[in-house]
Chain A
């Protein structure tokens, strides 16, 4: 009897171990990806700037408020670099797509002109993205308790404005690539696809 129980326990252990190992390796991959995405030459400067802003929060007496403010300041200082990474990946995708347009439309003046226009727009957007990635943390904190809420709020609005300006350039680049694809479709005699969306399409909620 005890032998059977031992076999059963061993079987259960063997079944569960691979599942647990898989979740640990998944977490590690996420962590590595997160670390890599922060890597650039101005990381140290940004970290120092963030540390200086966090130091100002040490005067806040309420520990709960202080902890929350530290969390928010950290996020606001980290977000531009992360957002820049996302925008850069999108611009990389646009460049890949535009390469295909250029190849398939080689020799056609209209396609060549549309591709050149899109290339300029992508370069312009990438410059804006790079500037955002290298920019100093927009957070302005004095460390005065009564001003904390307003300062965090205005810092968040400054961040939103920074994102909006760069996004506008990325949108212009995307529209230019969309135009180039449509010009190519006319050249190839394919049905002209609808223009690319301005905003993300809503994801349908699954119904049970």
Chain B
């Protein structure tokens, strides 16, 4: 039994390292996954037939974005390396 404990610890650490590395490398934890540096494409919103005007305005609020400013800023930062 005593010999088994170190083996278990090593195997557990190896498994955790593999899973951790995959999660970080695929961006599921840590850095967000974005296609290149582009903003993600949103899913169109819809409203329920019985939605109140307040709920409609809430749905409309989801269409507000920066108009691509963050993508342009990313370009500007990268262009400094030229």
Count of residues in B whose CB is under 8 Å from the partner chain: 52
CA–CA, A71 to B59, complex, Å?
36
**A54 surroundings in chain B (CB, below 8 A):** none
* Interface pair A101/B56, CB less than 8 Å apart: yes
Could you say which of A20, A96, A182 contacts B22, with CB atoms under 8 Å apart? A20
Q: Is the interface of A mostly helix, strand, loop or mixed?
A: helix
Q: How far is the CB of A202 from chain B (nearest CB, A)?
A: 11
* Interface pair B42/A65, CB less than 8 Å apart: no
Could you say which of B7, B45, B53, B71 contacts A96, with CB atoms under 8 Å apart? B45
Q: Which residue of B lies closest to A19 (CB)?
A: B19
CA–CA, A19 to B22, complex, Å?
9
* Interface pair B64/A199, CB less than 8 Å apart: yes
* Interface pair A97/B45, CB less than 8 Å apart: yes
**Contacts known (A68-B82, A196-B64); A79 close to B71, Cβ less than 8 A:** yes
* Interface pair A197/B61, CB less than 8 Å apart: yes
Q: Mark A51-69, 1 if CB is under 8 A from B, else 0.
A: 0000000000000010011
**Contacts known (A23-B28, A34-B35); A16 close to B67, Cβ less than 8 A:** no
Q: How far is the CB of A13 from chain B (nearest CB, A)?
A: 8
* Interface pair B15/A15, CB less than 8 Å apart: yes
Q: Which residue of A lies closest to B25 (CB)?
A: A23
Could you say which of B46, B56, B60 contacts A174, with CB atoms under 8 Å apart? B60
New A-B contacts (20) at CB < 8 Å, excluding given A33-B41, A152-B82: A20-B19, A72-B75, A72-B82, A76-B75, A78-B38, A82-B41, A83-B68, A89-B42, A93-B42, A96-B59, A97-B56, A148-B82, A160-B72, A164-B67, A174-B63, A177-B60, A178-B60, A185-B54, A197-B64, A199-B66
24 pairs from A and B in contact (CB 8 Å cutoff): A5-B4, A12-B15, A16-B15, A23-B22, A26-B28, A30-B33, A37-B41, A72-B75, A75-B36, A78-B36, A79-B38, A94-B60, A96-B46, A96-B47, A97-B56, A149-B79, A156-B76, A156-B79, A160-B72, A174-B64, A181-B53, A185-B53, A196-B60, A200-B64
